[in-house]
Every structure is written in structure tokens, then in C-alpha cells.
Structure 1
Amino acid sequence: MTALLAGSAVVTCLGTGAETFDALLDGRSGLGPLRRTDAERLSVSRGYHIADDDSCFRAGAWLTQCVRQALDEAEITPQTHRIAAVIGTGLRELRTLERWEEPPADFPTHLLHFGSAARAAEPALTEVVTVSNACSAGGHALAMAQDMLDLGEADAVVVGATDEMSGSMLTMIGRVAEEPTEAVRPFDADRGGVLLGEGAAAVVLVAEGATERPLARVLATGVSCDAHHETAPSTEGLGRAVTDALRRGDRTGRDVDLVVAHGTGTALNDPAEARVLLENVVGDGPGPLVTALKGAIGHTSGASALHNLDVAIRALRHGRVPPVVGLRHPLPEGEGLRFAVDSTPTAPMRLAQIDAFGFGGVNTVTLLEAV
């Protein structure tokens, strides 16, 4: 069954959801020098940071802010609805844990999950589930939320996601790049690799008819888990997530007007995603507009799916698609894709596809319909 989005809230290095969308339309980026870590030792010198203090449990604090704002916008309260929450993350609060060579005996390990952070925004949540599904965690949380509504386990579900860049993830991306990456360049022939961003997002999902002012309709989320490789993507696995979403949503690739791509700017992901879009979405038609956010806000790990979702909501509502920041020379494998290169108004758009692909082949693709 379909579901409605009743509220959405975002925080990125560019600000709130509205501020981020405006910056994306202008082609601006939140890229800056790496903070709080030894850049030379990590072979990573740049990142997409949120400009706040270096306090503990930052990811949870951002999540609390977004959950509260999304519920306020949705006008959903526990007095009238049974509200559950599903939170996606790739790293949890790992950055806080890394502060100690040996964590203190009384370290509050329950804060590594996000039940306390979500309940700080709404204490009456019936349950909070944390899903750690790499870079597609927010998409998996959305799929679980839709199942909960379909099964009658909640009247409304807050779908949240959050991640702060950690030293361990920075070390990993520094090891796989021959030279330190200067900027994320999704789908560019000269792309040099990924850089991390950070932030959080939350949306409120309700059943059809449960809100008079929906932001958009979630038709379906397709999933796949191919376990092809620890990090390298499988085009077959990515394709299964796309076809699963189209089948569940009773749509075809020709119906898709906009793709908000995963677009990591890496050697393997971008060609694989381009091939999957050409084979499963474009077909023999002109194909949808394709945009990607990571050149502007970095790779926000488990939050990236919901960041893409918020931009898709705004693009459908306002008829404008942000350009792919950092894209100058499209990669050869992308020939035939219509990459967004400016933010001029588009023809009316009805259907958006949101891609989120994670390490280990955990993939999600969400179809979002205008209302």
C-alpha cells in the first residue's frame, strides 16, 4: 500500500532543508577543510562539516532536532496517533566512542542507538528501532515504516536517519584514494573519490487519508541485499532494487521524471549506477533528469537516502531540479543520461526515484509521487 509524507526536516552542512535546497539550486557547496582530526595522517584533507561545536553525541542531537521539527510540521501528536520511529544510521555515535582510547566503565552504551535521541523529541513514541544498514540505512528505515503502517502496528511512523563523520570512516576513504580527494564529483569522468558529510533528517509517514496536507506520496521502496562484495557494487544487485521498486509501485521506468542518484563520485559506483539507470529506467525514451547531492553536501552515510528524499519532495513541489555540483565532464558510461546542469524550471514532474546503495550490497530505491 502507498503512504503519505506529512512532515520532513533536514540538517546538512548547508543548513535546514529549505536552506539546503536553495543552496543546491544555486550550485553552492559546503566543502571545507577537515576539522577535529589529523588530516595529514588520514590522507583526507577536506569534508562537508556542520558548523557547530565538537560536543559528544552530535548525531543524536541533530536527530532530536529533526524529529521534533518533522512532527511539528505533520501536526501529529501521541494524543491522536500511535507513533513509532525507525532510525537509520551507518556509524551510530562512533565519533563519540573514538574520543577515548578505552571507554569509561560507565559509558552510556544505550546512546549508541537512537531511542533516547528520538524520545527526547517525543517521549510518547511507542517504540524506536535503530537500523544500521550502511549508506542505504535511511531507505531501509522508510521501507520498514511503510510495512508497519500496512500491518497496523502504528498510525504514524517517524523515519529518521543521522550520521557524523568518524575517524574510522575517514581512514578508510583515505586508504582507497591514490591522492587526497579535493571534492566529490558525481558522474564526472575526472572524479577522484568520495568525501564525507554529516547531518540528519526525519520524515513522518502516515496512511492514505490521514493528513489533509501531504508533502508527497511514497509509492514503494524496493530493496536488495546481494552481498556481492564488501565495498564494490553489483549492477545486478542495484538493478534488482530498481525493478523491485517499480514492481511494487506498479510503474515502469518510463514513468520516472527525476532520479536523485546515489552518485558517490567513486570509480566503481558511478559507472554501475549509470548502467543500471540506462538499462532499467531510461529505455529508448529521453529518460528522466538525473541529479546527485554529494558534490554539495558530501556523503552523509546513513542519512543520505533521506537527504535525497527531502530534495525530491521539494523538486516535485517547486518544479526545479538542482544541478549536479562538481559535474563538468560526464563519464562515458553516462552517455544517454540527462544530468541536471542548471536549476531552470522544468516541465511538471510526477514521479521521482531516490537511490541509496550501501557497502555489502544493501540497496534501496524509493518511488515518490507528487500530490
Structure 2
Amino acid sequence: MNRPMNRVVITGMGTINALGKSVPETFAAMAEGRCGIDTINIRDVERLSVQIGGQVRGFDPEEHFNRQQIALYDRFTQFTMLAAKEALAQSGLEFHGLLADEAGAIFGTAGGGVNTWDENYRTVYEDGKNRVHPFVVPKLMNNAAASHVSMEYNLKGPSYSVSTACASSNHAMGQAFHMVRSGASRAMVTGGSEAMLSFGGVKAWEGLRVMSKDACRPFSANRNGMVQGEGAAVFVFEELEHARKRGAEILAEVVGFAMSSDAADIVMPSKQGAARAVRGALRDGGINPSEVGYINAHGTGTAANDKTECAVVADVFGSHADKLMISSTKSMHGHLIGGTGAVELLACIMALRDGIIAPTIGYEEPDPECALDVVPNVAREARVDTVLSNAFAFGGLNAVLALKRF
């Protein structure tokens, strides 16, 4: 006998990123079309050819965590803990008894504790020391953020991390959605984080030759690459009736999710693979393509990604593609790699709740291969009832979420 599928809603959200240290700050920056990308302040930055990024400014871990926590929390975990605190406070959920037993934390990250790797490689290779801190392994492991959130909030159910490059957050949130929809859990804490803005982290990305040295300009004909960002966003996904019974404020409804593999190339995107994920999310959510009003694009600002993604939208939506709004907020906060889908889900919620469509800033020249309404440079007021959030990752791994106004 098949169990009925539960409806899944979002009852809490939190973030820290280059645009703001909270959701209200981030919404305000997105609505203003503010750019959070600037010269990065890291050790040995002068040895990098790419010296810009969406860095979290004015962040002092000692203002938020004690010495014991700092010894265990890499920067990506610190970001996750702060975003989780905001999200859980908004949701008002507390985890005890059976609810605690079934609730968990699923987070996406591509690199995990990159700063910890970087610092300790320096210690043993550059400084020639033979000892590292005894907590290096638990600090750098990809599941550290999920584990610490589970411990902090008494989440005793399924908790783990997902690592699928730039689709990590969307995959993680999709898994959380499935958990709640299936009845395996009434509430899940989910999202993603990344903190790769260290010398080694940026140097590795430089090697791919996909990075811009001046700005992220998605869909603009003169775009010249992506820009890294850092930060986290965390959400509470909850079963609708459970949220209603406790009088929770409902921010949006998650209605569909799909994943696909290109099975083609390790770095070049595939129109067919991405289109399968978009169509799958629409099908999963019972959504007619004509219902979709806004898509938060993967929109990295590379030539290959942007034209492929526009071709996907044109293919899947047909004549409706011209009526859609599609924007890339990476132009403002940078590409948070494994954490990017989580921060971008905030733009989707802002569109549904506030009727404000975040713009694609840095747009200077129309590209015939990206001839869609990319909401250039200025945010737009518009009522939308259904939105998609795209994530198309290296490795050919795609994950698309569909949300509706509640």
C-alpha cells in the first residue's frame, strides 16, 4: 500500500553571504541589485591572478563562537551554524521526543573544510612542522557542518552531507524534501555552505581558466567567467499539517524536485541532461510549464554555461520562454560552489513572498544566444506563483527545485 505524499513547506530560513549576514540584509541587497564582489582579503592574495570574490566581510568568529568551538569549526561550519541559528529561530521549532528522533540535517558542500586543509598544508609543507592540531580531521570533513547542526539542535534522524560540486545544495535540499514528503520525517534542516576563498582554493580554480578577473556578468555578451563566493543558507523544511498545527509562518511550498546526470563530460554542460532535470522537476510538481513565472538560473557567467542554460529554457518552455523572468544572483554574491543553490533559493522565496525579482547585475551587452528576459541590472516587482531553482554542476550532475507561493 502506497503512503500518501505529504506537502512540504518552508518555515525558517537563515543566511550569511557576501550580501548580508542575515536574510533581511540579503533580501535588501538583492532588491537593490548590490554587488558583494570585491578584492578579496586573504593571505598571499598577491600571488593569485584572480583577486576578486564574494567574500563575507567584517566577520570575526570570536564574536560568535568560543575557543573550543573555533577549534572544531572550519569557516564553512561557522557559516552553517550562524545560518542555522537564524533559520531555527524563525521556524520556532524545537526537537524533542519522536520529532527529534526522525528530524535530521542534510547539507551540501563541495569542498568542506578547505581553509583547514590550506592552513595545515602550510604548516607541514611550508613551515616544516611535523604536528598538526588533533582536531584537523573532524574540522575539515565534509559532514562536519551537518554533524554540528545535528548536535546543536538535537536532530537524531538522518543527517549527512552531499557533495556534487555546484549542485550540492540543491541535491541536499531535494533529499530533505523527499524525506518530509515520504513521511520519513516531519521536519528537516537543510541547505549548504562553502568557504573556498583561501590561497589554495582560489589557485585550484584558477587552473580551470573559467574565472573572471573583474566581474561576474551572466548572460551578457562580454562575460568572461565566474567569480567565487562564500557563505551559507539554511532552511527548515516541514510537513504542512505539522506546521499548521503549531501555527508556524509558512514562507513557501516546495512542490517538485528532479536530478539528472549528463553522462557526457566532466566539465562541459549538456543541454539534454539539464533539460531532463528541469522537465523532471515540473513533472514531479505537477506543474504546467506555462505556470512558471521565474527561474533562478545557474548562470555562472561562463560562455558555455549561460548559452546552454538559455537553450534549455527555450527548449523546455517553448513559446512561454519569452514570458519568463530568469536571473542569476551569482552576479551579486558570486558562485558559492556547493553552497550556491541554498543562497539562490532565498531569491526564489523573495520572488514568491515579496513579489521582487532579483536582477542579473553586470549585464552590459545582449547576447543573441541568451535572448531571454534576464532581469538586467535592476530588480523588478512582479507577482509570481511558481518558481524554479537550477543547479548544473561539474561532473554533469543536475538538480532542480520547484517552489510555489503558499
TM-score bracket, normalised by the shorter chain, equals over 0.9
SS in 1 for 2:193: strand
Q: Is the 8 A contact 2:45 2:199 kept in 1?
A: no
Residue in structure 1 matched with residue 394 of structure 2 by the alignment: 359
Pairwise mapping of residues 182-331 of structure 1 onto structure 2 (< 5 A)?
Answer: 182-212=214-244, 213-284=249-320, 286-331=322-367
TM-score, length basis structure 2? 0.86
Q: Is the 8 A contact 1:225 1:361 kept in 2?
A: yes
Residue in structure 2 matched with residue 338 of structure 1 by the alignment: 373
Take 1:168 and 1:267, find their aligned partners in 2: how far apart are those partners?
25
SS in 2 for 1:189: coil
SS in 1 for 2:207: helix
The AA in structure 1 aligned to 2:117 is: L
Q: Is the 8 A contact 1:115 1:129 kept in 2?
A: yes
Show CA shifts across 1:30-65 (max 9, x none): 111122143343311111100124876111011011
Q: Which moved more, 1:304-313 or 1:34-43?
A: 34-43
- 1:93: Cα distance to partner? 0.7
Residue 370, structure 1, aligned to residue 405, structure 2 = yes
The AA in structure 2 aligned to 1:367 is: A
Take 2:212 and 2:108, find their aligned partners in 1: how far apart are those partners?
29
Q: Give % identity.
A: 29
The AA in structure 1 aligned to 2:253 is: R
Pairwise mapping of residues 83-162 of structure 1 onto structure 2 (< 5 A)?
Answer: 83-101=103-121, 102=124, 104=132, 106-111=134-139, 112=141, 113=143, 114-119=145-150, 121-162=152-193
- 1:11: Cα distance to partner? 1.0
Take 2:241 and 2:227, find their aligned partners in 1: how far apart are those partners?
41
Take 1:214 and 1:69, find their aligned partners in 2: how far apart are those partners?
15
- 1:220: Cα distance to partner? 0.8
Q: Is the 8 A contact 1:4 1:215 kept in 2?
A: yes
1:41–1:214: structure 2 CA closer, same or farther, 3 Å change rule? same
Q: Is the 8 A contact 2:211 2:227 kept in 1?
A: no
The AA in structure 2 aligned to 1:142 is: M
Residue in structure 1 matched with residue 205 of structure 2 by the alignment: 173
SS in 2 for 1:157: strand
Q: Is the 8 A contact 2:110 2:164 kept in 1?
A: yes
Show CA shifts across 1:322-354 (max 9, x none): 21111121322111x1111322422x2100110
Q: Which moved more, 1:100-109 or 1:110-119?
A: 100-109
Q: Which moved more, 1:163-172 or 1:15-24?
A: 163-172
Q: Is the 8 A contact 1:187 1:265 kept in 2?
A: yes
Q: Is the 8 A contact 1:63 1:117 kept in 2?
A: no
Q: Which is greater in Rg?
A: 2
SS in 2 for 1:171: helix
Q: Which runs of 5+ in 1 are unaligned?
A: none
Take 2:310 and 2:201, find their aligned partners in 1: how far apart are those partners?
25
Q: Which moved more, 1:62-71 or 1:264-273?
A: 62-71
Take 1:36 and 1:216, find their aligned partners in 2: how far apart are those partners?
37
Aligned Cα RMSD in Å?
Answer: 2.0
The AA in structure 2 aligned to 1:316 is: L
Residue in structure 1 matched with residue 75 of structure 2 by the alignment: 58
Take 2:210 and 2:165, find their aligned partners in 1: how far apart are those partners?
24
Number of residue-to-residue matches in the alignment:
369
Take 2:85 and 2:335, find their aligned partners in 1: how far apart are those partners?
24
TM-score, length basis structure 1? 0.93
- 1:21: Cα distance to partner? 1.6
Take 1:179 and 1:353, find their aligned partners in 2: how far apart are those partners?
26
- 1:179: Cα distance to partner? 8.2
Q: Is the 8 A contact 2:114 2:201 kept in 1?
A: no
SS in 1 for 2:342: helix
Q: Which runs of 5+ in 2 are unaligned?
A: 62-69, 125-130
